[in-house]
Amino acid sequence: MPISYLTRIVAFSATHYIRRADWPDERNAREFGRAAVEHGHSYQCRVTVKGPLVAEAGGVMSLEALDRLLAEEITRRLDGRSINEALPEPAPGGSPGGVRVGAHRAPAAARRHVARGARAGGAAYLLGIFR
């Protein structure tokens, strides 16, 4: 059975900051510089689903379902908001937004929903948020 890929990209703007809650403001400023203060970026969330074509889904997975998921879990949740507030899940290093070399961890709910939709068609997925 042939393997196909479905990639969707959604863009949004959000603010974030990088700081550790267990450090005083002075140390955060010294370690993270201007990034320790809330500031904005334009981001892209890229999702690629890989798997066999499923006739019932109209492809690897339902395009409408994937678009709905991205609108609910990414755009509505993050656009125009603070990533640190919208994604309370702490990442290693203490930054709730999970900032790592310009990338953020996607919300856990989005990862679960994409995985569930992808598994329905036997597909694998990759989801990342980048600025």
Nearest to 128 by CA among 13, 56, 48, 69: 48
CB neighbour list of residue 56: distance below 8 Å, 6 or more residues apart: none
Burial class (CB in 10 A: 0-12, 13-18, 19+), 108: exposed
DSSP letter (8 states) at residue 94 = S
Predicted structure pTM score: 0.68
pLDDT number for residue 100: 34
Question: pLDDT tens across 38-97, in order?
Answer: 999 998 888 888 888 877 767 788 888 889 888 988 899 899 999 888 876 554 444 444
pLDDT number for residue 97: 41
Please name the amino acid found at residue 121.
G
Question: pLDDT tens across 16-41, in order?
Answer: 999 898 999 999 999 999 999 999 99
CATH code for the domain of 117: 3.30.479.10
Domain hosting 109: range is 3-130
pLDDT number for residue 111: 54
> Count of domains in the chain?
1
